Amino acid sequence: MRYDTQSGSHSKYSLQYHLILATKYRHNLLKGEVGEDLKQQVDSIAENKDIEVLNKETDEDPIHILFRATPTTELSKFINSLKGATSRKLQNKHDHLQQHSALWPPSYFLATTGEVTLDQLKEYVENQGEFE
């Protein structure tokens, strides 16, 4: 079984995530220039938090972000700072967004992604006893 790994001082890891942020009340606000500005801000904020954005895309709502993090990344802090900073910056730049009290609701969706399926991992773990 092979992973695309990263290394820390005392660890090897492979941590990828899929984050979905939907706008508050599911308004279709992320189109055109707003969506492009949002994607640029995601890159900038992630870079400051030592997070590698693998891909991001939005149409009108929501935005999907695939990213890689380290074992010490505080995911909820990263996500909350991402939501707060992007909301503030987008509302300051795009006047039509100021009519909304907040761009994002308190909720979000986050899932781990893997290079192998859960069934493949289960089979791998189950077969470890065969080699002893």
CA distance 102 to 83: 10
Provide the domain limits for residue 50: 8-131
Collect all residues with Cβ–Cβ distance below 8 Å to 5 and sequence separation of at least 6: 12, 13, 14
Strand 6-7 with 16-21, pairing: unpaired
Q: Is 108 a catalytic residue?
A: no
Query: pTM for the full model?
Result: 0.84
Q: Measured between alpha carbons, how far is 49 from 89 in angstroms, rounded to an integer? A: 17
Rounded to whole angstroms, the Cα distance separating 44 from 48 reads 6
Catalytic, out of 3, 13, 25, 124: 124
Please tell me the total count of domains within the chain. Answer: 1
Q: Which two tokens stand for residue 63?
A: 């935005």
Examine residue 1 and state whether it is found in any structural domain, yes or no. no
Tell me whether residue 3 is in a domain. no
CATH code at position 80: 3.30.70.1290
Task: Identify whether the C-beta of residue 6 lies closer than 8 Å to the C-beta of residue 118.
Answer: no
Confirm whether 87 is domain-assigned.
Answer: yes
* Inside any domain, residue 78: yes
pLDDT string in tens for the chain (132-residue length): 567 788 888 888 889 899 999 999 888 999 999 999 999 999 999 999 989 999 999 888 899 999 999 999 999 999 999 999 999 999 999 999 988 888 999 999 998 887 666 677 677 767 765 544
Let me know if residue 32 belongs to a domain.
Answer: yes
For residues 15 and 113, is the Cβ–Cβ distance under 8 A?
no
